[in-house]
Structure 1
């Protein structure tokens, strides 16, 4: 495995804020990244799914990576999203290396439903194109067989596998065969919902959508899960996690737009603007999320950090 920084614990996936004219709000992005750092997130992934990678042009991508590298400033691992057609993915990988990212998350290729041979060619070309750490996102039209993973781990740049499929039989086969050669990350939508199952088979990191606006509750949940505090885990499920997840599942695209709504509700610097084909959160769902967060913040308040001398 590469000796560069690898993600651990809860991974932060900041959104890409847009101003009222629809342009990237870089001050908002920097503030949101700083919020995640202040809250103790173990890594930052920019311009990925939550960051609307699909909707960014190449100059915006470059500017986002540059601003994010400067904001993180080496404090935690900083990863980018790469993907889409092979040439676009390679351009994003080169930009990420040039600007000083620690690695990238490889998103599925555009549209095509490839054979395993094609997936291997696609992924190995990207992984081998730079010295950066690479994490493969196993989901949608990029679902790897065990044999393909076994071939890809020959590349030292490959450090992790993120699962967004939920096939636990396949996940178990991979983790038991590949072992600690890779890190394993839960990338299911609203990953807190499935994390108990993933923890049992060797996944010890996950991407948290709610950490963008209630990160202390993400941390509280993960700590309770690791300590075996079933009562607190269940309380957080009933009061916060499952109610938010029900809203998320009600409309396509809410995996992104619901994050921005939550950030608005708690007063973070982001508008609710998203780029097509994602649609903004409906007013009724926004009000439901407001009510959930009101209860969450009252029942599970953020603990003040002790002052240091």
Structure 2
């Protein structure tokens, strides 16, 4: 087992759904193929963007199986587990049986646990299989340094993904645990904050916009890595900030706005989502259309045609 987490831009495919609520498996496969075509460095199906909490076990397993068949060893595959600890362990075993490299452990359901409780939650799930595990800090799962210290001693835990945004704590973590664990930026629309995270040692991020404009995310990431501040600033102002402003206009847009973006660029996905997520408001959809039209005129890509619906 390669005890390290994926590096670079991480793809988190959505779960396309038909109007009747059933999963559109053909569209899902095309989404994964599109991410691979555009050079995403790992695929994370059935996580937050994939509406993990709205899938039953059969759907969960089916989507992992389709991902493994489509990826065919080209890049690492990590799944999502979490919420109810028993469900998380069960889905970790499903993931292991499907041959994935690891999983992202999402926060526990609802309960605001103590540091000891959070340690046991992450530790028990990580130890339930031999797969690599990445701890996801956000919402009700905020770790103190001593708790993360204990978690780094668990062989299966290879990464720490931050979705909280406390930069003082992030700076402490990367200094204290450098070389012992990998660090991933998991903030909503991570491109918004990556310029601040990268100098701390966060060399990977989960990209929502890569579901529909992956080439722009790549150009931005490459500009940050190479120190091309002018190019990074231009993409940030042209594309990233306008999309982020729209994302902040609705609850659940972390998921539904991705599907809206995919529909706008012509990829095979419907706006359908499962409650409590709701589709993007028509006015916000039009705003997004305008942003993406301008973005694709300035930053064109030839990869869309073969994947269009």
TM norm structure 2 = 0.96
The runs of 4+ residues in structure 1 deviating greater than 3 Å are none
Instruction: Give the alignment of 1:221-300 within 5 angstroms.
Output: 221-300=220-299
Aligned to 2:33: 34
Relative distance call for 1:303 and 1:28 in structure 2 (3 A) is closer
- Supply the distance in 2 between the matched residues of 1:216 and 1:104 (Cα, whole angstroms): 25
CA contact (8 A) 1:186 1:195 kept: yes
Aligned to 1:92: 91
Q: What's the CA shift string for 1:195-253, capped at 9, x where partnerless?
A: 01100100000011111000000000001111111111111111111000000001110
1:3, CA displacement in angstroms? Answer: 1.4
Matched, 1:195 2:194: yes
- Supply the distance in 2 between the matched residues of 1:81 and 1:234 (Cα, whole angstroms): 32
Aligned to 2:132: 133
Matched, 1:53 2:45: no
Relative distance call for 1:189 and 1:155 in structure 2 (3 A) is same
1:302, CA displacement in angstroms? Answer: 2.2
Q: Match of 1:159, SS?
A: strand
1:5, CA displacement in angstroms? Answer: 6.2
- Supply the distance in 1 between the matched residues of 2:123 and 2:58 (Cα, whole angstroms): 25
CA contact (8 A) 2:3 2:158 kept: no
Equivalenced residue count is 303
Q: Match of 2:80, SS?
A: strand
1:6, CA displacement in angstroms? Answer: 2.8
Structure 2, gaps ≥5 residues long: 304-309
Q: What's the CA shift string for 1:151-208, capped at 9, x where partnerless?
A: 1111111110000000011111111111121111000011111001100100000011
Aligned to 2:307: none
CA contact (8 A) 1:243 1:292 kept: yes
CA contact (8 A) 2:3 2:156 kept: no
TM norm structure 1 = 0.96
- Supply the distance in 2 between the matched residues of 1:229 and 1:179 (Cα, whole angstroms): 26
CA contact (8 A) 1:5 1:102 kept: no
- Supply the distance in 2 between the matched residues of 1:182 and 1:55 (Cα, whole angstroms): 30
1:303, CA displacement in angstroms? Answer: 6.4
Structure 1, gaps ≥5 residues long: 305-309
Relative distance call for 1:25 and 1:37 in structure 2 (3 A) is same
Q: What's the CA shift string for 1:111-145, capped at 9, x where partnerless?
A: 10000000111111000110100000011111111
